[in-house]
């Protein structure tokens, strides 16, 4: 059945561009959120990075403050407003986790039963692994599942079903439950479990169980729903000074919708979603959307990360890290036309979200905004992200790291070049046998232990990620590699 049984969106109300918008909730736990200052921070940062259009939203415990900058549609000169929808990419994953937990609350799903309970024909090539993979492992990125493909299986309600069936061809990265490895494919399996248990398509379940109860009227999945909203297009800039070029591909396919293929939202609705997690599962009107126990489960760390800059641990949905001794939860994501980041801090009762329509500048924009907002308004000293220039050169024994590591559609060969560890990255057809020149190369700068910082930021998609190795074979060689958050297994 291709026809949806629920429309996720409501008609948008136009507001003036660059308007500062605030909605009262309840008593704040912090002082000093200044919307005028937020507006200036966003405008200065987005302008410096060449971002065409952006939003910034903060929930301060009492109000949601929303500020905007630039153009949602450069060709038509349409300004970004507080209700403009952007592609949020993988930030969708925490919405998917909340959807799963709503079904757990009703006894329709169980985090610790094998997913074959709800997807009887789920298969991966590793013998017996499908019978051991659980929803808790999938949501915490510890199921050992490869990140997977981005194959498009159409817009039918069977798109997710067909995608999950294709995973029977993709070997695991690691044994289930043994290590962290970010996986769009794994989250899609969790989404299909929800779809089967809830007996409706994933988008309808998300709308009925999460978006509508929380009053998130500035969020939508389907193009026909987006017609009721102002929507931002995506842009690419070769440099800050170059003219922006519109990105021709609208979104990733519906087949990975639970992982971040289609959901669009405003930054304001991202922090309104986080407000529910700060309020023990309650919506602004007091309705219990998730149980307090489910929120605690979502906030409980399940697995440590070998790399440390994105997060220190992963919970059942969000990631977990500490800045200045304060625990912070969140998720981020990049799609073909947008990049978002959402963080929330229970001890401060605050949340913050950024969205940009120049995807490769979304993470740098968020990082620079947080450099100012966290100490100024939240009272949290944010650690400085290391850069290649800030890393002190250190000589290391590279033998443990040499060799080839693979995942679906990607291969990285690590070589010794005069005592320096250098990554040669191959993707697409070249990944099978490293034929021809690599798509990129990067020296890896030692950060201590098995962690490194790529000298070429493009190796991490301009996200500022560190990379790390883990495990040891009989010769002491690392068995796995984490490229930011994406796991790879040794092949040679």
DSSP 284-350: TTS-BSS-HHHHHHHTS--EE-SS-SS-SEE-SSSEEEEETTEEEEEEEEE-SS-EEEEEEETTTTE
Q: CB of 483 within 8 A of CB of 466?
A: no
CB atoms within 10 A of CB 179: 22
Contact predicate 469/476, CB 8 Å = no
Provide the pLDDT for residue 21: 55
Provide Rg for the chain, Cα atoms: 22
Q: Which CA distances in Å does 17 have to 20, 67, 80, 84? A: 9, 9, 6, 10
Q: Could you say which architecture CATH assigns to the domain 389-490?
A: Beta Barrel (2.40)
Retrieve residue 291's tokens: 């149980």
pLDDT, position 29: 59
Report mean pLDDT in 10-residue bins for the chain, 492 residues: 34 39 51 90 97 97 96 97 98 98 98 98 96 98 97 96 97 97 98 98 98 98 94 92 91 96 98 98 97 98 96 98 98 96 98 97 96 96 94 92 96 96 88 82 96 93 91 97 97 96
DSSP 467-479: EEEE---TTS---
pLDDT of residue 429: 66
User: What's residue 30's pLDDT?
Assistant: 65
Per the annotation, the verdict on 90 as an active-site residue is yes
Between CA 105 and CA 354 the distance in angstroms is 30
* Alpha carbon distance 215, 10 (integer Å): 10
pLDDT of residue 462: 80
Q: Where in the chain is the domain with CATH 3.40.710.10?
A: 1-385
Output the pLDDT for position 385: 87
CA triple 209-214-216, angle to 5 deg: 105
How far is it, in rounded angstroms, from Cα 127 to Cα 86? Answer: 41
Instruction: Tell me what pLDDT residue 126 has.
Output: 95
Q: Does domain 1-385 have CATH number 3.40.640.10?
A: no
Tell me how many degrees the CA angle 354-455-462 measures, rounded to the nearest 5: 20
Q: How many C-beta atoms lie closer than 10 Å to residue 32's C-beta?
A: 11
Q: Return the ∠ at Cα 288 (arms to 284 and 289), rounded to 5°.
A: 90
pTM of the full predicted structure? Answer: 0.93
Residues of the chain with CATH 2.40.128.50: 389-490
Judge whether 147 and 487 are in contact, CB under 8 Å: yes
Q: Which of 90, 183, 279, 339 is catalytic?
A: 90
Alpha-carbon distance of 370 to 54, in angstroms, equals: 15
Kindly tell me the burial class for residue 118, based on how many C-beta atoms sit within 10 Å of its own C-beta (0-12, 13-18, 19 or more): buried
């Amino acid at each position: 059945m291709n026809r949806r049984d629920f429309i996720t969106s409501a008609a948008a109300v136009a507001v003036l561009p660059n308007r500062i918008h605030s909605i009262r909730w309840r008593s704040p736990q912090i002082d000093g959120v200044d919307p005028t200052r937020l507006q200036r921070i966003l405008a200065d940062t987005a302008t410096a990075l060449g971002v065409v259009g952006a939003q910034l939203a903060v929930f301060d415990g009492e109000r949601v403050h929303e500020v905007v900058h630039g153009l949602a549609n450069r060709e038509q000169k349409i300004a970004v407003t507080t209700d403009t929808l952007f592609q949020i990419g993988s930030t969708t994953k925490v919405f998917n986790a909340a959807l799963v937990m709503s079904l757990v609350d009703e006894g329709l799903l169980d985090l610790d039963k094998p997913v074959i309970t709800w997807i009887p024909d789920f298969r991966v090539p590793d013998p017996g692994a499908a019978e051991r993979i659980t929803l808790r492992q999938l949501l915490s990125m510890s199921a050992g599942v490869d990140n997977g493909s981005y194959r498009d299986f159409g817009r039918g309600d069977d798109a997710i079903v067909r995608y999950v069936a294709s995973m029977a061809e993709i070997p695991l990265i690691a044994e289930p439950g043994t290590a962290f490895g970010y996986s769009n494919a794994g989250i899609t399996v969790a989404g299909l479990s929800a779809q089967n248990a809830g007996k409706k398509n994933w988008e309808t379940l998300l709308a009925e169980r999460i978006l509508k109860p929380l009053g998130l009227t500035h969020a939508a999945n389907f193009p026909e729903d987006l017609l009721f909203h102002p929507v931002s297009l995506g842009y690419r800039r070769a440099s800050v000074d170059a003219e922006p070029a519109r990105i021709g591909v609208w979104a990733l396919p519906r087949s990975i919708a639970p992982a971040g293929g289609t959901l669009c939202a405003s930054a304001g609705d991202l922090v309104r979603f986080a407000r529910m997690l700060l309020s023990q599962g309650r919506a602004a009107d007091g309705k219990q959307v998730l149980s307090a126990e489910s929120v605690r489960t979502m906030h409980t760390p399940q697995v440590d990360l070998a790399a440390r800059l994105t997060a220190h641990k992963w919970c059942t949905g969000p990631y977990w890290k500490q800045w200045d001794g304060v625990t912070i939860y969140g998720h981020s994501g990049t799609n073909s036309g947008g990049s978002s980041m959402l963080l929330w801090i229970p001890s401060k009762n605050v949340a913050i979200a950024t969205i940009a329509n120049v995807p490769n500048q979304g993470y740098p924009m968020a990082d620079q905004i947080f450099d100012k907002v966290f100490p100024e308004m939240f009272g949290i000293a944010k650690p400085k992200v290391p850069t290649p220039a800030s890393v002190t050169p250190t000589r290391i024994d590279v033998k443990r790291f040499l060799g080839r590591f693979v995942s679906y559609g990607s291969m990285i060969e690590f070589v010794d070049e005069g005592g320096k560890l250098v990554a040669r990255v191959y993707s697409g057809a070249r990944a099978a046998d490293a034929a021809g020149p690599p798509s990129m190369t990067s020296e890896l700068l030692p950060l201590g232990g098995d962690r490194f910082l790529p000298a070429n930021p493009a190796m991490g998609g301009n996200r500022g990620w560190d990379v790390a190795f883990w495990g040891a074979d009989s010769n002491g060689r690392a068995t796995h590699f984490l490229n930011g958050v994406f796991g790879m297994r040794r092949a040679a």
